[in-house]
Structure 1
Amino acid sequence: MRRRLTTLATLATALAVTAATVLPAAAGPGRPRPPAPSAAAVVADMQPGWNLGNTLDAVGADETAWGNPRVTRELFDRLEKEGFDSVRIPVTWGQHQGPAPDHVIDPAVLDRVEEVVDAALAEKLYVLLDVHHDSWMWTHEMGTRHDEVLAQFTATWRQIAERFRDHPRTLLLESINEPQFAGVDDAQADALLDELNVAFHEVVRGTGGNNADRVLVLPTLHTNADQPRLDALAATITALDDPNLAATVHFYGYWPFSVNVAGGTRFDAAALADMTGTFERVHATFVAQGVPVILGEYGLLGFDRHTGTVQQGEKLKFFEEMGHQARAAGVTTMWWDNGQHLDRTTFRWRDPELFARIASSWRLRSGVASTDQVFVRPGAVTDQTLTLQPNGRRFTGLHLGRKALRKGADYTLTGDTLTLRAALLARLTGDGAYGEHAELQVRFDRGLPWRVDVVAADTPVLADATGTTEDFAVPTSFRGDRLATMEARYADGSNAGPHGWTSFKEFDVTFAPDAGTGRILLRPAFFAETTDGAPVTLTFHFWSGDTVTYTVQRDGDAVTGTAG
C-alpha cells in the first residue's frame, strides 16, 4: 500500500480502495460488483496531491504554450516516488471546441487528455480532472448569456464523461475551477454556480458506467472558504443527496503576506488567524458532516513570479503550519505547481528546502523559530536572540555542520528563547567580510531541523542615479544586508505608487533587489502610478532592522534618483 496505515479500520478501508481500483466494473457473470469505497476513503487516500499547472490548462496552441514541456509518464513516475498519491490535471476546454449547438471538443485534444490521465493512473496516482480557465473565458458570462453558457457547459461535460465513463474510480471529476460570474452579486452568483454543479452532477451520473458512483468534486464560488460560500455549497450538496460527492476550496493565504505587500513580510498573527479560520470553517461545514474536502490548490500567490518574493524562513513557517492544520482538519491537499517548483525537465526541486518542509508536514510537525537569519555588525558583535516554536518537539541542540555547539559557552536556552553568544558570532564572522558566514541548525527530537543563517552586515549605502521609467535602478552597496520591503511617500506624507492605500509596495512587482549586480530595481509598474514632477521618498527596510531613504522623481519618461 502507498499510504502508511495505522489502524485496522483504515487498513480495511484501504484494502477496499485497492480492490475497487484493480477489479473491473463487473467481476464476471453472476458476480456482484464489489462495494465501492466511500468518498471519504477515496479522498483520504489521495493525500498528498500535486497540480499539473500551466500545461493542459494553458491558453494557446498546445500544452507547451505557457512554458512547460510536453507531459510524459516519467513525470508521474517521479511524483509517485516523491511521495505524492494524486495529481490534479487542469484542462481548458473551450478553446478547443466547435460552435453551438454541439460544441464538439477537438478529438485530438480529448485523446491527449486521456493519454495524460492514463499515464498518471498507470503510476498508481489518483487523478482529479477539471474544467479550468473556462471559468473566466466563457462560463463567467452566464449572468447575461445563461442558456448559451449552460448549453456549452452541459455539452462539454457530456463529452468528457462519455470518454471517461469506464475509467476506474481512481479518476475523480471536478465541475469547474474557481467559478466566477460577471455582473451579478454573490447571492446571484451562488445560484448560478448551483445550476452548474447540479447540471454537472446530472450529466456525469447519466452517462453510467463507473460514472454512476465516481466521486464528483464541487467547488464553492471562487473556491473561497468564507462561511457564506461554504454554506451555499453545503446546500447544493445536501439537495443532491449523493454520498459520492466531495467539496473543494483553494487556499493561498492571507493576501498581504501571500504577495508580500502592505508590509506583509512575515507569517504573523494575522496570517496565522486567516489560515486557522479557513480550516476551522471547512472542517465544521463539511468534514465533520461527512463530506470530504480537497484543497484543490494551495501555495502563495507571489510564487507565480518566483518563490523568492517571500522570505525563505517566513514561507517555511507558513507551509509547516498549513500542513499541520490540513492534517488536523482532515483535508486532502493538492500543491499548485505551474512549473516554479518541480523542474519538469530535470525532475529536480527548484527549492529543495521548501519541498522538504512541505513533504515533512504531510506526516508530522517540525520545530521552527522566529527567524532564520541573524545579522552581525562587524566590530560591534553582541548576543543575538531568537524565539523557538517547538510545535511539540524537544530541543536537542545547536549544530554547526556536524559539530554540536556548546551550551553555555556558545548559546543558552531559557524557555523558548535561544541566545547566540557574542563570542560564537564573533568567531563565525571573524574575517569581517560582509555576507553569510555560517548556517547553524537548531535540532529537535523529531522532524526537520531549523536552519539559521549567520550574516555579517552593515547599513547599506545608496548612490545617485538617472534612468527612465522603463529602466531605472538604485545603485546599492548591500554590505551583506537583505532587502525586506520598500515604502513610498510624497512630500506631504501621502502614499505613492500602486496600492495607494498603503505606503508599503509589492515586492518584485514594484521593486526588486539584485544583490549580484548591486542594484535595487524600480519597476515600470511603480512609476506608472506616480505623479509626474513630484518627488517620492523611498524608505528601504532591510532584514537587519536598518532603514535607508532615497528620493526619486519622474519627469515624463526620465527618472532621477538622489541618495540621502
Structure 2
Amino acid sequence: MKPIRQPAHHRGRGPGALAALLLSLVVMLGLTGGTALAAPDGTDKASASAIRVPASAMEAVAKMQPSWNLGNTLDAIPNEDSWGNGQTSKATFEKIAKDGFRSVRIPVTWSDHQSATAPYTVDATYMARVKQLADWAQDSGLYVVLNVHHDSWMWVSKMSTDHDNVVARFNATWKQIAAAFRNEPRSLLFEGINEPQFDNATPAQKTEFLSELQLSFHSIVRSSGGGNANRMLSLTTQFGSSDQALMDDLFKTISSLNDRQLVAQVHFYSWYPFSVNVAGGTRYDDVAQKNLEDSFAAMHRTFVAEGIPLYIGEYGLLEYPNHFHPSRVERGEALKYYEHVGYGARRYGLTTALWDPFSYLNRDTLEWRDPALFAAIKSSWTTRSGTASFDKVFVPKSSPVAAQSLTLSLNGTSFRGVWQGETRLLPGRDYTVSGSTLTFTAKALTRLVGNRAYGVNSTLQARFTRGVPWSIDIVTNDVPVLSDATGTPESFTVPSQYRGNDLATMHATYADGGNAGPTDWTPYQEFNKAFSPDYANGTIILTPEFLKTLRDGEPATLVFHFYSGAKVTYHVTRSGSSVTGTVS
C-alpha cells in the first residue's frame, strides 16, 4: 500500500555511529543471536525468540494470527523517521505482543540505502538496523514477515523497459538479505515483493514478469543455505489483489515450485466505494459485506482448501482512521467492517495483518489512539459482537420528540439491554425490542436530549452476551443551512450551519444529467478528494481538484447528503478564475 503520509515531527534519533558500526560488523560476520537451525520436526532447537514453529506452514501461519504492520517506518522514504514515526524501539514490539498480536510484518524499502548500479550493495548499517528490528520482534515472541516494499514502484515497476537491470538489482537485493538472515529461526518469513506492478506492460507481460521475479526469489533464498533452506516464503499477486485471475496465476506459480513452505499473500481494503466513500458507498451495507464474504471465500477456495496458507499481508480501510483529515468512513460503519474481518478470518482460515502507518498505535506513547476501536478489533479475533443499523439516533429540534428505532444485528449473540454509563435503561419505559427492532420511547429521548443543544446530547451502550458493546449517540439536529459564497478554483468554501449533522456524501450533476467532478463515472464524488467538511469553521470545502474539472460557465447542482437523512441542494458555477455558489 502507498502510505498515508504524516507530517514529519517527533523525529527520533538513531543508534550512535559506533553502535551502528559494531552492529554492522556483527551482521556481516554472522555472529547474531538466534542462529540455530531447524530441528527435523520443524521446530527451532534454540532461538532468541523461543518461538516453536510448527513444521507445517499451514499450522505456522495459523499461529501468526493476528498480525500487525510496522508501516511508514523502515518502508519510509528515504529514512526510517521521514514519515513521522521516529525510531522504533523494542518496546514497540513488546506492546504489540502484550496486546495479543502474534506476528508483525516489517515492510522495508531498500532503494535509498542501496547503490543504484551494480553490484547494488545495501548499506551495512541499514542492513544491521533491519536485522535489529527483526530480532527485537522475535525476542518479543512475534513471528516476523520481512519484505522488499516500495521498491516495487520505485524501480521494479520499470521491468518492461529496463528488464536486465531490474532483474539484476532484484536478485542482488535478495542475495544480500538472504545472506544476512540465513541463520535466523523459521519464525522469520521472507516476502519477495510488495504489491508488484509493472509499467507499460501488457497483462501477459505482467504475469510473466512477476513469475520470473518470484521464481528467482525462491531460487536465491533456497540456495543460500542455513535456515533459508526451509524458511517460509511469501509470494503475492500483482498489486496484492484478490482478483480471481491474479490469484489463479499465483496458485500456478506456487504449485510449480513444489515447496510446502510457501505462503500465498493478498491485501484487502474492502469494497472500494466503501473504503474511500465514493459512488454512494457511505454504509457497510449488503454490497460491502458480500464483497468481503466473496473475497475471503475465494481466498480460501483458491489456496487454503488446496493446502496453501493464505496471509492477508495488509487489511484496513484506505486512509482510515486519518487523524489529519475528517474521516471518510463513518465510525460505526467502520467498526462493522473490522468486526466482520475478524469473523471472516476465523471462518475461512485466513491470517490477517492490520496495516498501521501510524493511525492505530501512537508510536510515541505506545497507546492506541482510539482504544474503543482497538477493543473492537481485538474482540473480533475470538468472537462476534452485536451491532445496529447505525450508531446515532437523530432527534429533530424543530419537531416534538418522538420515538426512534434502530435495527439490531445480533451476529449470533443475544441482546442484554441498554445502558447509559453504569445505569441500565428500563425495558418498556425507556425502550422496547420487537424482533430485531430496538425502539427508544419519546419519554426516554426527551430525557436524553436534555436542553436540545445541537450535537451529541447523550451516549448509550447496547450490550450483548458476547463481544464489545455498541455505542449509540443521541443527537439533536435540524436540516443544515447553507449560504451563498464566492471564491476561486483554488479556494472556495460553502458556509454551512451543520446543526448537529455529519456530512455523508456529495452528489454532483449538470442540467443535462452528466456527472460533475473528477470522478466522472459516478455522480457521488469522493470524500476528501472532491469535498470535505470543516465542522470547526462551519464550512464545506470544495477542493481545487473538483472545481477545476467543472465545465466553464455551466452551473453544477450539488446535493449534500447527511447521515441523518437530510439533503441540501446547492449550485456552483466556475467562470474562468472565479467560482460562485448559491442556495437557489
Q: Distance in 2 between matches of 1:305 and 1:557?
A: 32
Within a 5 Å distance, the mapping from 1:401-480 to structure 2 comes to: 401-480=421-500
Give a deviation string over 1:264-315, Cα, whole Å, max 9, x none: 0001111111111111011011111111111000011132755711001111
Matched with 2:59 is: 41
Corresponding residue SS for 2:137: helix
Q: Distance in 1 between matches of 2:583 and 2:177?
A: 61
Matched with 1:343 is: 362
Q: Which amino acid aligns with 2:530?
A: T
Give a deviation string over 1:33-67, Cα, whole Å, max 9, x none: x996211122111111111111111122x111122
- Structure 1 pair 18/532, CA: closer, same or farther in 2 (3 Å)? farther
1:246 aligns with 2:263: yes
Q: Distance in 1 between matches of 2:41 and 2:570?
A: 63
- Structure 1 pair 24/447, CA: closer, same or farther in 2 (3 Å)? closer
1:52 aligns with 2:75: no
Give a deviation string over 1:174-225, Cα, whole Å, max 9, x none: 0000011122232321222111111101000111111010111110121111
Within a 5 Å distance, the mapping from 1:385-400 to structure 2 comes to: 385-400=405-420
Matched with 1:167 is: 184
Conservation of the 8 A alpha-carbon contact between 1:304 and 1:338: no
Conservation of the 8 A alpha-carbon contact between 1:40 and 1:291: yes
Q: Distance in 1 between matches of 2:519 and 2:243?
A: 24
Conservation of the 8 A alpha-carbon contact between 1:17 and 1:36: no
Gaps of 5+ in 2: 1-38
Conservation of the 8 A alpha-carbon contact between 2:72 and 2:83: yes
- Structure 1 pair 53/539, CA: closer, same or farther in 2 (3 Å)? same
Conservation of the 8 A alpha-carbon contact between 1:39 and 1:245: yes
TM-score by length of 2: 0.89
Within a 5 Å distance, the mapping from 1:160-199 to structure 2 comes to: 160-199=177-216
Matched with 1:268 is: 285
Displacement of 1:134: 1.0
Conservation of the 8 A alpha-carbon contact between 2:70 and 2:357: yes
Q: Which amino acid aligns with 2:344?
A: Q
State the identity %. 50
Q: Distance in 2 between matches of 1:135 and 1:544?
A: 43
Corresponding residue SS for 1:20: coil
1:73 aligns with 2:95: no
Give a deviation string over 1:481-525, Cα, whole Å, max 9, x none: 111111112233321111011111111111111222211111121
Matched with 1:552 is: 572
1:363 aligns with 2:382: yes
Q: Distance in 2 between matches of 1:39 and 1:195?
A: 23
Q: Distance in 2 between matches of 1:35 and 1:323?
A: 23
Within a 5 Å distance, the mapping from 1:212-361 to structure 2 comes to: 212-303=229-320, 305-306=322-323, 308-361=327-380
Displacement of 1:404: 1.3
Gaps of 5+ in 1: 1-15, 26-33
Corresponding residue SS for 1:55: coil
Q: Distance in 1 between matches of 2:73 and 2:575?
A: 42
Comparing 124-133 with 550-559, which one deviates more in the overlay? 550-559
Q: Find the partner of 1:91 among 108, 120, 125.
A: 108
Displacement of 1:99: 4.1
Matched with 1:6 is: none
Runs of 4+ aligned structure 1 residues displaced above 6 Å come to: 16-19
1:156 aligns with 2:178: no
Give a deviation string over 1:459-480, Cα, whole Å, max 9, x none: 1111122222222211111111
Matched with 2:145 is: 128
Conservation of the 8 A alpha-carbon contact between 1:485 and 1:505: yes
Q: Distance in 2 between matches of 1:151 and 1:443?
A: 58
Q: Distance in 2 between matches of 1:381 and 1:185?
A: 61
Conservation of the 8 A alpha-carbon contact between 1:162 and 1:207: yes
Matched with 1:481 is: 501
Q: Which amino acid aligns with 2:355?
A: W
Give a deviation string over 1:433-479, Cα, whole Å, max 9, x none: 11111111111111111111110100111112222222221111111
Q: Which amino acid aligns with 2:547?
A: F
Comparing 239-248 with 66-75, which one deviates more in the overlay? 66-75
Conservation of the 8 A alpha-carbon contact between 1:302 and 1:310: no
Q: Which amino acid aligns with 1:472?
A: F
Corresponding residue SS for 2:180: helix
Conservation of the 8 A alpha-carbon contact between 1:319 and 1:358: yes
Displacement of 1:22: 5.6
Matched with 1:519 is: 539
Corresponding residue SS for 2:362: coil
Q: Distance in 2 between matches of 1:18 and 1:106?
A: 36
Conservation of the 8 A alpha-carbon contact between 1:260 and 1:507: yes
TM-score by length of 1: 0.92
Q: Distance in 2 between matches of 1:36 and 1:487?
A: 53
Conservation of the 8 A alpha-carbon contact between 2:342 and 2:380: yes
Displacement of 1:158: 0.3
Q: Distance in 2 between matches of 1:365 and 1:332?
A: 17
Within a 5 Å distance, the mapping from 1:495-514 to structure 2 comes to: 495-514=515-534
Q: Distance in 2 between matches of 1:425 and 1:315?
A: 26
Conservation of the 8 A alpha-carbon contact between 1:250 and 1:298: yes
Q: Distance in 2 between matches of 1:41 and 1:497?
A: 49
Comparing 156-165 with 144-153, which one deviates more in the overlay? 144-153
Q: Distance in 2 between matches of 1:119 and 1:47?
A: 19
- Structure 1 pair 19/223, CA: closer, same or farther in 2 (3 Å)? closer
Within a 5 Å distance, the mapping from 1:104-123 to structure 2 comes to: 104-123=121-140
Q: Which amino acid aligns with 1:544?
A: S
Q: Distance in 1 between matches of 2:444 and 2:41?
A: 55
CA RMSD of aligned residues (A): 1.9
Q: Distance in 2 between matches of 1:18 and 1:481?
A: 60
Q: Find the partner of 1:140 among 147, 154, 157.
A: 157
- Structure 1 pair 437/186, CA: closer, same or farther in 2 (3 Å)? same
Corresponding residue SS for 2:144: strand
Conservation of the 8 A alpha-carbon contact between 1:17 and 1:42: no
Corresponding residue SS for 2:320: helix
Comparing 498-507 with 99-108, which one deviates more in the overlay? 99-108
Q: Distance in 1 between matches of 2:372 and 2:488?
A: 38
- Structure 1 pair 337/36, CA: closer, same or farther in 2 (3 Å)? closer
Q: Distance in 1 between matches of 2:439 and 2:40?
A: 51
